Amino acid sequence: MHPQTDIVVKIATDLWYRQISRASTLFDEYTDEQLAAEIAPGKNSGVYLLGHLTAVHDALFPLLGIGDKLYPELFDVFVKSPDKSDLPKPATADLRKYWKEVTKTLNDKIATLSFNQWMERHTSISEADFENEPQRNRLSVLLSRVAHLTEHIGQLLWIKK
């Protein structure tokens, strides 16, 4: 009735959805001004974290082999470069839209994957290496990204009201 492998998928994806929902709630609650400020002196701004998380999650499409990035231009600005780079950043209103769109599209894809599909390799490991390291699969990518996301949620929680 409840195959154990389906339960594993439910646990992992529910954890992802829950943390995504927490981040979305935080982004929605904060004003553009609150997001623009450094969260702590000398640390990242909320707007950088919004762009950063959007870009990292957008990169999950090719990494999981489930599609192409929606906003590939974000990666240089928000992943390869730090907050105080000279690169021009999109308007906060646009970043809010990109976050919602990446989240919705990604969650829809994530919901379709079966346990066996989660156990398939991700695209940054070769077939040969995957034979020896079968744990480097899509599921491990998802759970690593949960950890990455919650790390930044801990910081976003500290934006002052």
CA–centroid distance for 123 within its chain: 17
Catalogue the E-assigned strands of the chain: none
CB of 137 to a second copy, least distance (A): 7
CB of 40 to a second copy, least distance (A): 4
Q: Site for a second copy (CB under 8 A): which residue of 68, 93, 112, 135?
A: 135
24 binds a second copy (CB under 8 A): no
Residue 121 has phi, psi (to 5 degrees) of -65, 155
Q: Which of 61, 54, 63, 51 is nearest to 90 (CA)?
A: 51
CB of 88 to a second copy, least distance (A): 26
Q: Which among 29-37, 68-76, 85-93, 141-149 is the span making contact with a second copy, rule CB under 8 A?
A: 141-149
Q: Site for a second copy (CB under 8 A): which residue of 41, 86, 112, 161?
A: 41
Q: Are 39 and 155 in contact (CB under 8 A)?
A: yes
Half-sphere exposure of 100 (CA within 13 A, CB side): 9
11 binds a second copy (CB under 8 A): yes
CB of 70 to a second copy, least distance (A): 25
The position carrying tokens 């002196």 is 41
**Residue 12 burial (CB count, 10 A):** 19
**Residue 113 burial (CB count, 10 A):** 18
Residues binding a second copy (CB under 8 A): 2, 4-5, 7-8, 10-12, 14-15, 19, 39-43, 115, 119, 134-135, 137, 139-140, 143-144, 146-148, 150-155, 157-158, 160
